[in-house]
Amino acid sequence: MTATSRTITIDTLDGKGRFDTYVAEPASTPRAAIVVIQEIFGVNAGIRSKCDRLAADGYLALAPDLFWQIAPGVELDPDVPGQMQRALDLMGQFDQDAGIRDIEATIRTARGMLAEGGKVGVVGYCLGGRLAFMTAARTDVDASVGYYGVGIDGLLGEAHAIAHPVLLHIPQEDHFVDKDAQARMHAGLDDHPKVTLFDYPGEDHGFATEFGQRRSDESANLADQRTASFFAAHLG
């Protein structure tokens, strides 16, 4: 048997809205659940592929459409210049606090789909990497991974609230996160008992995308192996 996928609808925490969520389910009982947090390009083929890979590894994977209030169902390609600009525009319109509430609603839904006591993690990329850090600080998520999260150096004041393990992948040549910001991240987080940071020399933003011009195979595979080991240790 192979993993299967479908789209479900989740109610917002306040009950005033609903958003679509891509779900990939393993062939057997899930080890745990992982919420996959989109980049600025929507729940596109790359994010769905991340979910499918997690399901093949035995996890229930859910990717909520966090842009549902501004561009529901949008799917953009970062390798197309006009679509990259639209993605940046959408990021500017996006209410990140509302996004965290939608992630929390997705975490609650995931817990309800697991056996009692089942654990839920999050993994996010780009904007999603930032949201993964915020989720770790603001929700009861069991483990969080962020790839090339943007602006995390501006969120260090929330680090004291992180109670469960966090893993961050930092490309050292990230054109959205300069060396000074990276240094602030290390200064603020290296001594945190729950946070682990890995640096990737020579790598740029988006190096672990599933496909496209941004991908850097060797570092992507290394980061994904580290993520898999992290989730195996903290989720099961």
Between the CA of residue 162 and those of 37, 75, 81, 155, 186, what are the distances in Å? 18, 31, 37, 12, 16
Whole-number percent of the chain with pLDDT over 70: 99
Domain total in the chain: 1
**What are the tens digits of pLDDT across the range 23-79?**
999 999 999 999 999 999 999 999 999 999 999 999 999 999 999 999 999 999 999
Q: Is 187 helix (H, G, I), strand (E, B) or coil?
A: helix
Decide if 186 is catalytic.
no
**Catalytic residue of the set 52, 169, 205, 234:** 205
User: What is the predicted pLDDT for the residue at 3?
Assistant: 79
Q: Are 36 and 124 in contact (CB under 8 A)?
A: yes
Q: What is the DSSP letter of 176?
A: T
Higher model confidence: residue 117 or residue 81?
A: 117
Q: Which range has the worst mean pLDDT, 16-25, 73-82, 122-131, 149-158?
A: 73-82
**Catalytic residue of the set 20, 174, 178, 191:** 174
Decide if 174 is catalytic.
yes
Residue 141: band (very low, low, confident or very high) from pLDDT cuts 50, 70, 90: very high
- Domain residue limits at 37: 4-234
CATH of the domain at 71: 3.40.50.1820
Residue 81: band (very low, low, confident or very high) from pLDDT cuts 50, 70, 90: confident
User: What is the predicted pLDDT for the residue at 28?
Assistant: 95
Instruction: Please tell me whether the overall predicted TM-score, pTM, comes out greater than 0.85 for this model.
Output: yes
